[in-house]
């Protein structure tokens, strides 16, 4: 028996326009929905559809709307069909939710859910997007060890929790470079850093290193160019690590890394103490905070010798959806990178068609580690 070809969305609209009754239209929509997930991805065209006879409004919020309800779905009269067509770059990976009658939810017709972090969110993976092998291949058989620690900080006057990720085949007689991560709980649970570092080390892509993942308490206070936090890092945590683990105790072997606000404090900490941190990693760094205060600080100093790896998502042009120039992280990274290069710093920077998400940072943290310690 000859099978009927799967109907395209344009064909559905054509048949609905020619259907003679509401019942026939409803049947066409139901059959189409049963045969297709949402959204439909055809080259750069992405068609979202939602099926409801009772909804009064259906909207999308996502990385491309800066999580504001500015993408309503169109209702097709005499049917249960709501739909919207968008166009995205072929290499994009984006997250979104459907808002029905004011209530946000994952897309019930999308089988793909983004990695946890700011979600749960539905995920769009465009045809040319490729996740890195450290996330798609099986984890290596030899794994590192993750230890949980805490210390009382005099600088911050509180207790600090952090995790130490030791590399596979860790040997106490060998000296290791160290990467310090702000938002350490996020890098542990959402970015899957132990899996990423184990894979890259075991396949020979990066030299063995130790990672220290620092959990924030009040991140918006601590990461806002807070010198008390810098003193905690440089006067307490780093010396403790150097005393208790076989680290390479020089700035060229220490990285300070963070995402968003964590990227801001990473760059600030290196600016304050370049003798401690010689490597700086920023993912979607909030460098524009307080009207480019960080950039003015770097502009006032000579080249301090650090190396920088900076990444940002092309959809991160309005972080909080309020239209303020401070929230354009793409423009901020470009200004910061241009300033650093003009000063003679070694800088690698990149922009990807993604949004402000842990799924984005998870997929690209490996590139940063290769830049710092690649074989």
* pLDDT band at residue 119 using 50, 70 and 90 as cut-offs: confident
Q: What was the pLDDT predicted at 325?
A: 87
Between the alpha carbon of residue 51 and those of residues 45, 275, 337, the distances in Å are: 20, 59, 46
Looking up residue 116, the CATH number of its domain turns out to be: 2.60.40.10
Segment 83-96 shows an average pLDDT of: 98
Looking up residue 308, the CATH number of its domain turns out to be: 3.40.50.1820
My answer on whether 223 and 186 are in the same domain is: yes
My answer on whether 121 and 139 are in the same domain is: no
My answer on whether 84 and 220 are in the same domain is: no
Interval 358-375: pLDDT, tens: 999 999 999 999 999 999
Interval 215-270: pLDDT, tens: 999 999 999 999 999 999 999 999 999 999 999 999 999 999 999 999 999 999 99
Distance CA 69, CA 253 (A): 45
Structural domain that includes position 230: 133-373
Segment 131-142 shows an average pLDDT of: 96
* pLDDT band at residue 1 using 50, 70 and 90 as cut-offs: very low
My answer on whether 36 and 54 are in the same domain is: yes
My answer on whether 84 and 155 are in the same domain is: no
Domain assignment of residue 67, yes or no: yes
My answer on whether 205 and 309 are in the same domain is: yes
Q: What was the pLDDT predicted at 117?
A: 85
Q: How much of the chain, in percent, has pLDDT values that exceed 70?
A: 98
Domain assignment of residue 4, yes or no: no
Tokens (6 digits) for 270: 């290196």
Domain assignment of residue 3, yes or no: no
My answer on whether 147 and 200 are in the same domain is: yes
Domain boundary among 125, 144, 160: 125
Q: Do residues 353 and 92 lie in contact, with contact meaning Cβ atoms separated by under 8 Å?
A: yes
My answer on whether 121 and 267 are in the same domain is: no
Is the pTM of the predicted complex or chain greater than 0.75? yes
My answer on whether 241 and 186 are in the same domain is: yes
My answer on whether 106 and 160 are in the same domain is: no
Q: Do residues 29 and 12 lie in contact, with contact meaning Cβ atoms separated by under 8 Å?
A: yes
Structural domain count, the chain: 2
Interval 8-33: pLDDT, tens: 999 999 999 999 999 999 999 999 99
Domain boundary among 125, 147, 178: 125
**Strands of the 279-283 sheet, one edge to the other:** 145-153, 158-166, 210-214, 178-181, 254-259, 279-283, 307-313, 346-352
Domain boundary among 125, 151, 178: 125
pLDDT reading at 289 higher than 70: yes
Q: Do residues 357 and 118 lie in contact, with contact meaning Cβ atoms separated by under 8 Å?
A: yes
My answer on whether 119 and 158 are in the same domain is: no
My answer on whether 80 and 139 are in the same domain is: no
Domain assignment of residue 2, yes or no: no
pLDDT reading at 5 higher than 60: no
Segment 68-85 shows an average pLDDT of: 96
Q: What was the pLDDT predicted at 128?
A: 98
């Amino acid at each position: 028996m000859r099978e009927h070809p799967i109907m395209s969305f344009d064909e559905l609209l054509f048949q609905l326009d020619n259907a003679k009754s509401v019942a026939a239209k409803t049947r066409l929509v139901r059959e189409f929905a049963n045969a297709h997930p949402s959204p439909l991805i055809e080259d750069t065209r992405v068609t979202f559809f939602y099926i409801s006879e009772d909804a009064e409004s259906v909207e999308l919020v996502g990385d491309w709307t800066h999580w504001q309800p500015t993408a309503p779905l169109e209702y097709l009269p005499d049917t249960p069909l709501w739909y919207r067509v968008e166009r995205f770059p072929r290499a994009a990976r984006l997250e979104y939710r459907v808002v029905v009658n004011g209530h946000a939810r994952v897309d019930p017709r999308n089988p793909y859910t983004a990695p946890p972090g700011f979600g749960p969110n539905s995920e769009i993976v465009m045809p040319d997007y490729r996740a890195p092998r450290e996330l798609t291949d099986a984890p290596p058989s030899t794994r590192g060890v993750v230890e949980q620690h805490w210390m009382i900080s005099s600088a911050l006057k509180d207790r600090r929790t952090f995790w130490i990720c030791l590399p596979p085949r860790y040997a106490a007689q060998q000296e290791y470079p160290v990467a310090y991560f702000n938002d350490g709980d996020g890098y542990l649970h959402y970015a899957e850093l132990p899996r990423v570092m184990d894979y890259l080390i075991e396949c020979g892509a990066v030299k063995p290193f130790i990672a220290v993942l620092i959990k924030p308490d009040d991140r918006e206070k601590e990461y806002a160019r807070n010198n008390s936090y810098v003193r905690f890092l440089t006067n307490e945590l780093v010396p403790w690590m150097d005393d208790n683990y076989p680290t390479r105790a020089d700035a060229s072997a220490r990285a300070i890394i963070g995402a968003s606000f964590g990227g801001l404090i990473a760059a600030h900490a290196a600016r304050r103490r370049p003798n401690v941190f010689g490597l700086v990693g920023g993912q979607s760094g909030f460098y524009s905070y307080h009207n480019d205060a960080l950039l003015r600080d770097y502009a006032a100093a000579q080249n301090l010798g650090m190396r920088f790896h900076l990444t940002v998502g092309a959809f991160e042009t309005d972080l909080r959806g309020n239209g303020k120039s401070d929230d354009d992280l793409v423009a901020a990274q470009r200004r910061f990178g241009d300033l650093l290069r003009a000063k003679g710093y070694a800088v690698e920077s990149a922009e990807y068609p993604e949004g402000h998400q842990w799924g984005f940072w998870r997929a690209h943290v490996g590139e940063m580690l290769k830049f710092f310690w690649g074989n």
